[in-house]
Chain A
Amino acid sequence: MNIIFYIAAAVALISTIMAITGRNAIHALLFLIMSLLAISVIFYILGAPFIAALEVIVYAGAIMVLFIFVIMMLNVGLEKEIEKNWLRPRMWILPSILALILMADFIYVVTINNMEEYSSQIIQPKQVGISLFTTYLIGVEISAMLLLAGIVGAYHLGRQKKKVLHRFL
């Protein structure tokens, strides 16, 4: 079981290094997603299955899609060159290999019959929810306010200034 941890940690470190040294933003983002998936596998074998799912859904799903949208909107790179590089294998071969390693890891972990014996003690989502909505209720309310402030701030900052002022609008 320890070897699973070390493999996932190695994948996370390699893909993080590739992410921060990347030249193309989209490719760096691909490596960052790989790093997040590797950390999600580590969460799973540390006995936090709920957090592992949340990491994939919120981080690798929502936040990275925000990044992709912004990069696409800015259109920083040269489109012609990017399109030429899409089909070149060296652009996607390393993330694919890392993803395959992680997938083999994960399949092995999931298909073990008695998970409790192998993993550390699993903390069920029920305990997390009970703790979240009793002991840490004030924290939930504060983070709700933070998210509201985030929505208002992002809307205000992201609004484009009106170029043409119409008389009636």
Chain B
Amino acid sequence: MLTVPVEIQLLFAASLFILGLIGVLVRRNIIFMLMSIEIMFNSAGLVFIIAGSHWVQADGQVMFIFILTVAAAEVSVGLAIILQMYHHYKTVDVDELKKLMDKPE
């Protein structure tokens, strides 16, 4: 019998989410930012699975399938945007995209 307390499992999911958040905030390479967003999606799905196994209900797994769908749609559109960005600016660094920024005085 798996007797890991559910708090530990949720803590693990939370630490994965925090790692993904750190990745989005720290990295400037847009491919790494997209990968970190995937990590966050995955940890959110992990929370659903943990809850579903805690209450022995199938709803958690259903929610994970929806999260999977959203992640697939998001990553396909995001990668297309990355391709366009590289095509226009010849870089994958998000700090280079500053056409909307005010001119620094």
Contact = CB atoms under 8 A, between A and B. Distances in A.
Nearest to B79: A70
Contacts of B23: 19-20
Given A43-B49, A139-B66, A157 B20 contact: no
A20 B20 contact: yes
A132 B65 contact: yes
Given A66-B79, A123-B61, A128-B58, A32 B39 contact: yes
A110 B84 CA distance: 45
A59 to B, nearest CB: 7
A134 to B, nearest CB: 10
B64 to A, nearest CB: 5
A67 B59 contact: no
B31 A70 contact: yes
Given A43-B49, A51-B49, 19 more contacts: A2-B3, A5-B4, A36-B42, A51-B61, A58-B68, A59-B68, A67-B75, A127-B58, A128-B62, A136-B62, A143-B66, A146-B73, A147-B69, A150-B72, A151-B76, A153-B80, A154-B80, A158-B80, A158-B83
Interface of B: 1-4, 9, 12, 15-16, 19-20, 22-23, 26-27, 29, 31-32, 34-36, 38-39, 42, 46, 49-50, 52-53, 56-62, 64-66, 68-77, 79-84, 86-87, 92
12 contacts: A6-B4, A12-B16, A13-B19, A16-B20, A20-B39, A25-B32, A28-B35, A74-B31, A117-B1, A121-B53, A157-B77, A158-B83
Contacts of B65: 51, 54, 128, 132
